[in-house]
Amino acid sequence: MRRAMNAKCHWCHVCAKEKLEDAVPEDLEQLLPEGYCHSMCSYRPLEEGFEVILKLQYFTREEAEAWLEDFQRSSRVTLRKEQTFPNTKNKVRHNSYRVNMRCQHNTRNAEYTKKNTNCPAGLYLVVKKLSFSQNRRSRSKDGHIQEGLLTHVTIKHNHNHPLDSAEILKQRSVSKETVEKLEKLFQSGHSPCSALNTLKYDLQEELGDSYVDASADRSICPDFSFCYRLYNSIFKKTYVAASGDSVIQDLQERLVVYNNEQRETCGLMELTADGQIVVAFCTPLMKRIHRLARHSGEIVVIDSSGYCGKNSRAFLLLTHSAAGGLPLGVIVTKSESQNSIATGLNLLKTILPGDAFYGRGELGPNVFMTNDCKALRQALQNLFPQTTPLLSVFHVLHAMWRWLWDGHHEVPVEDRQWLLDIFKKLVCARSPVELKTTYHQALLDPVVLKNQQYRDHLTAVFAQRRDWATCLCTGLSTWCETTNNFVENTVRILKDSIFYRLKTHTIIQLVDLICTRLEGYYTKRLLGVASGRPVRCEFQPDGVDPDRIVQEDESIYTVTTKTGGIYLVNISLGMCTCPAGSSGALCKHQHAVTQAFKLQGGHHHLPVTSFMPNKSLYEMATGIQEEVRTTSPPASEDSGAEEASVQSELDAEHVESRLRSMFDDLMDKFKKDKTFQAPLESFLSSFEKIHTDSNLISALSTFGKMESATSQNIQPTDDAHFESPLEDEQSITSGPPPKRAKSQQWE
């Protein structure tokens, strides 16, 4: 297809020579797609919008339809066919293709519908013939045809509705690009639900701050119903997860393709004696991290709480770095038995590079930090006998937090924080004597004495003190104390990992996620930190009023939402009593606290320091030994932030001044003219019904256009389960898709 890379619109040199030097209307320039050369024959302003006649140098129906699709994308207009005309390929007619289009908000229904606004806008497209039978050229004296401008377009851009409101965007047709992405995900084994979640994750990674706007556009981010209907239209059946031999065959084929793409063995699968599937991965990026990250030989965190899907579990091996937690390997199992975990570790060991764990190889790192999973700890002890397995301080405190806030244990709300502080003093003891003294003092505490269940639980946890008390680890005490902060930051970053942000269902989908997205996720993170632009996790704290956040003590905050909900946030543990926060994930309440009190850490990555130079981070990400330039020298970061802050304050003052002026004007009109009373009462009533910041922002953005679509923030919920006093694992599952999809036709 021929496309011009110069100006996308100019006055026609055939019929508008006298206007060649005139400027093209700006509203038309913004409407037309990039990459095309449009010749404008006429432009007529209308009461609402305009009418324009364009000519393009395209000869076929396919080229014209491609332009039409690009036009709908650039203009954010959705058109439907109003009238079609017979195919004239072998007939003596002047047109080879013709179609009349109407706006989708002109449905011509007899009854009123919310979608139908009787919009008068439309588009008429004609492709003229240049030659007829026996290669006879057209005898038309139309100069456009002689110049090869065969595609004639008339656009009536006089919509009676806004084009950028949430109400309109959610009714757009899903684009071909989006459909192709969904089809590819379906072919990789995704369900309609997991395919949509994956698509949303990809959009977040690709669009960044622009994702909020894109998510309201159905052509880019479709709804669940469309995904189910599309799946059914392709496979002619409701989604049913693969099982048995088909799963094994699909996984084997996927791993063969993946290893061939990488030109080395990066993933292996094995069946255990009891028929459980185990898959291990060590991608090229992970192998480079083994070789270049010094801390991979010192301490490795094995986290299994980040993902627990439907009949699948992922164990992620990480080490800490300036870019947060970096992966050293992934094990995917369908069972948490010791046999499955041991098989996974053995598989992983066979594909690790010879210089794994910063040259320690089969010896493994100095320390493995895990949660209290007995099967995992025993398998590690058998496979890496020279390493020291420890319970992560973070996981230990996390487990106690969850135990205290579990209503089944009948701990009074007013006692929970005090009891957690007692346990925290126990965990942070610096010597065996201090540990023993603190424990005996805790048993005699009046609050502990009146909570017998907590006293019994504390005794059970203390009995396992050699697994988590660093002061009892000979030769490791000082070293572990200096690394605990890194470990806690690593695990917090885990909460923002791809496994929390993208919850899939089956082992096939999880393997596809690792093969297609995991490496790209960490590559982007490494390159961002190496270039001085660290990737940050940003939440939209909808419904949280910063003025209603109360600091109870050094690390405890009470967050009251606009709907009256009250949540307790422990910022030092990165925990919250909301469903998402109690499961271990970052939540909007934690983010609101860090923003309101200007707290550091948790949501942000560690700065690049001398122990991890930019060159190493760049080599990890790309495999290329080359120095990377940062976007700005460290010394100028503060000054740049200060300049941005000053500019932001000036902009805010300007907006505030205009806002006050607007309200003063409204008050004057209300006092002078009582006809303003009813409209103002309606406005105030609508304003009082808005309970979230996102809805308010949407309403303000589309003020005077059309009612904005409402949204509802949903966070995952989980049911806690405890297998031991220190158990810190909690399944984060997504519900299965409906057994029967809606039957209406997808478009």
> How much is the average pLDDT of 10-32?
85
Amino acid making up residue 606: L
Distance CA 609, CA 430 (A): 28
Q: Residue 567: beta bridge partners?
A: 559
What's 111's DSSP letter?
A: S
Distance CA 165, CA 173 (A): 15
Residue (of 729, 721, 312) closest to 513 by Cα position = 312
Q: What residues contact residue 247 under an 8 Å CB cut-off, 6+ apart? A: 277, 506, 507, 508
Distance CA 285, CA 547 (A): 44
pLDDT (tens digit per residue) in 362-415: 899 988 888 778 888 888 989 999 888 888 777 788 888 889 988 889 899 888
Q: What residues contact residue 15 under an 8 Å CB cut-off, 6+ apart? A: 41, 143, 144
Q: Residue 100: beta bridge partners?
A: 83, 124
Is the separation of the CB atoms in 596 and 546 below 8 Å? Answer: yes
What angle (nearest 5°) sits at the alpha carbon of residue 732, between those of residues 731 and 734? 125
Burial 479-490 (b: 16+ CB within 10 A, else e): ebeebbebbbbb
| 3-state SS record for 361-420 | HHHCCCEEEECCCHHHHHHHHHHCCCCEEEECHHHHHHHHHHHHCCHHHCCCHHHHHHHH
Most confident of the following: 120-124, 243-247, 614-618: 120-124
Token couple for 664: 């003063």
Token couple for 244: 């048995």
What's 555's DSSP letter?
A: S
pLDDT (tens digit per residue) in 32-42: 998 888 999 99
Residue (of 248, 164, 305) closest to 506 by Cα position = 248
pLDDT at 548: 84
What's 606's DSSP letter?
A: P
Is the separation of the CB atoms in 380 and 475 below 8 Å? Answer: no
pLDDT at 178 over 70: yes
Q: Which helix (H) or strand (E) holds 344?
A: helix 338-351
pLDDT at 699: 67
Is the separation of the CB atoms in 439 and 424 below 8 Å? Answer: no
Give phi and psi for 740, each to the nearest 5.
-130, 125
pLDDT (tens digit per residue) in 484-530: 444 444 445 444 455 655 555 678 888 888 888 888 888 888 887 77
pLDDT (tens digit per residue) in 102-155: 998 888 776 667 788 888 999 999 998 877 666 666 677 788 888 888 899 999
Q: What residues contact residue 144 under an 8 Å CB cut-off, 6+ apart? A: 12, 14, 15, 39, 41, 55, 128, 150, 152
Distance CA 378, CA 373 (A): 9
Most confident of the following: 128-142, 351-365, 715-729: 351-365
Banded pLDDT at 646 (limits 50, 70, 90): very low
> How much is the average pLDDT of 315-338?
84
Is the separation of the CB atoms in 557 and 633 below 8 Å? Answer: no
pLDDT at 588 over 50: yes
Domain ranges, ordered by start, for the chain: 9-161, 245-391+496-522, 395-488
pLDDT at 626: 62
213-216: long-range contacts, CB 8 A cutoff, minimum separation 24: 216/166, 216/169, 216/170, 216/698, 216/709
Distance CA 739, CA 490 (A): 39
Give phi and psi for 699, each to the nearest 5.
-65, -40
pLDDT at 684: 82
> How much is the average pLDDT of 89-107?
80
End-to-end Cα separation, the chain, in angstroms: 27
Distance CA 460, CA 410 (A): 18
Distance CA 74, CA 83 (A): 23
